[in-house]
A and B are shown apart, each in its own frame.
Chain A
């Protein structure tokens, strides 16, 4: 769907050249939800802007399907951009237009008749759950509602890809979860490929199939989300997944389990129960869990002793209480 070949981007600033991206190679599969994660300043915003040429790479090629976007003339590029929707951290809605007017905008500029545009816009606003706020101006909407309008607007021209640049970073955890659910829904229902740029592991964890970890303008690591989470190969990925933990080398092979919480009761002391029930010590390597309305969401990575019997016990306990997990192995070196 989108393919980067040796993409580099250098900015000329008064302080000299700044290399934002260097030699990026990426392929985003049709229909997937692709995450790009990195710390701020890692180059992820530049990366996503190279996908629709809001920023032009200084070197390399950007392919959308099999079209090299960099070879297109202005008018051709504008046509392609209509197939690539985009939403932003600050929503970027037209402040002087209603929600309906905002969703109509991309249809208007594509030359669609007013009547048809309004009809389409109304359908989309219904899809994102804003049936009763169509005539509201952005200033009358909450952050989550604004992002819903932005999503409806981005979908108006039936794009094949939706680029999300830190789309949930300005929202509270509840709203973040709801917006991510909506994106997941759109991916499934409308078969829109979604690219998610974020600095938050939980976003990747909640919706992405694949992830690329960006650090200082290069792709440090890329792969299926469960693989990267369980066995991060790069230093930066480890830092993002196990924040503030210094790798303690124990010398022996350890078992690793990744637990996913998606809506268990947060009042339940899962880990203590597990320790008592299974009579084994566990080490929490990293956790990003949240309590939303009394329910636990997120993930936790546990390190267990290399003891088949105890491991089996832990697994059966987790099965029993209904927490899903994945298993990995690390050689603590």
Chain B
């Protein structure tokens, strides 16, 4: 393969990966934050304790989380087709990525919220806050640094999942590694994709930690 061809391939692959990962992460958070909040507030001694809701949401989250991604990917192909009209390419990959990542994100959000001191919530209640005010003005802002750390972990996990999608016609660096490295024995191409993946993970990780550290007012 010509060097400029390889370069073009890698550039497209990287952009596709970034597209899949970033869009999936955003949608996973749009679903995962409310779900995590529901899990937290309906839990025992939560501000809106409701064991039935908590159990139902908890079971759905756990069910989705226990299916290995590569199986989930295949299992929901009909759903993916119904939603985006195709099962191949980066956009189609976003569907299973979100289905797999949203429950994971929900649990991460829940655990970040659990780190907020119960005393702070009690103080907010004593001041006459409604539950909505507690969620938006106390819980989420107080958990922000932890949520940001969680999101870097989520991005890394989703990036890993996105590579697996290469096996069933997903796009991105994962697909390149599988198509060239695995099916055509072009080890050098695979190596380049691995290096690129490592760099992408590093960038997300570093940026996430930096932002989390900056936004945390507890340590100075």
Contacts and interface: CB of A to CB of B under 8 A. Distances in A.
B22 interface: no
B147 to A, nearest CB: 11
Given A94-B141, A96-B144, A139-B220, A110 B128 contact: yes
B120 A54 contact: no
Contacts, number: 84
B126 A81 contact: yes
B206 interface: no
Q: Is the interface of B mostly helix, strand, loop or mixed?
A: helix
B142 interface: yes
A82 B128 contact: yes
Interface string A110-153: 10000000000000000000000000011110000000001001
Contact of A95 (B128, B130, B142): B142
B120 A92 contact: yes
Contacts of A325: none
Interface in A41-98: 52, 54, 74-75, 78-82, 84-86, 88, 90, 92-98
Interface in B127-185: 127-130, 133, 137-138, 141-142, 144-145
A157 interface: yes
A193 to B, nearest CB: 16
Contact of A109 (B133, B144, B217): B133
Nearest to B140: A96
Interface residues of B, number: 25
B125 A139 contact: no
B143 to A, nearest CB: 9
A126 B151 CA distance: 40
Contacts of A163: 126
Contacts of B2: none
A247 B138 CA distance: 52
A106 interface: yes
A52 B142 contact: no
B130 A105 contact: no
Contacts of A139: 217-220
Given A52-B126, A81-B127, A108 B137 contact: yes
A140 B117 contact: no
A90 B120 CA distance: 9
Task: Give the contact-size bracket for chain A.
Answer: 35 or more
Contact of B125 (A54, A80, A85, A140): A54
A79 B129 CA distance: 9
B196 to A, nearest CB: 36
A86 B133 CA distance: 18
Contacts of B217: 95-98, 137-139
Nearest to A79: B128
A92 B119 contact: yes
B63 interface: no
Nearest to B116: A95
Interface hub of B124, B133, B217 (most chain A Cβ within 10 A): B217
B218 A88 contact: no
B122 A140 contact: no
Nearest to A52: B126
Given A54-B122, A96-B144, A109-B128, A137 B220 contact: yes
B123 interface: yes
Contacts of B130: 74-75, 78, 109
A96 B217 CA distance: 5
A75 B128 CA distance: 9
Contacts of B123: 86, 88, 92-93, 150
B188 to A, nearest CB: 48
B126 A95 contact: no
Interface of A: 52, 54, 74-75, 78-82, 84-86, 88, 90, 92-98, 105-106, 108-110, 137-140, 150, 153-154, 157, 163
Given A85-B127, A157-B128, 12 more contacts: A85-B126, A86-B126, A92-B119, A92-B120, A92-B123, A94-B142, A95-B217, A96-B216, A97-B217, A105-B137, A138-B217, A138-B218
10 smallest CB-CB distances across A and B, nearest first, come from A92-B123, A81-B128, A78-B128, A92-B119, A137-B217, A86-B126, A82-B128, A106-B127, A139-B218, A109-B133
27 contacts: A54-B125, A74-B130, A75-B130, A78-B130, A81-B125, A84-B126, A85-B127, A86-B123, A86-B126, A88-B122, A92-B117, A94-B141, A95-B117, A95-B142, A95-B217, A96-B215, A96-B218, A98-B217, A106-B127, A109-B127, A109-B130, A137-B218, A137-B220, A138-B218, A140-B220, A157-B127, A163-B126
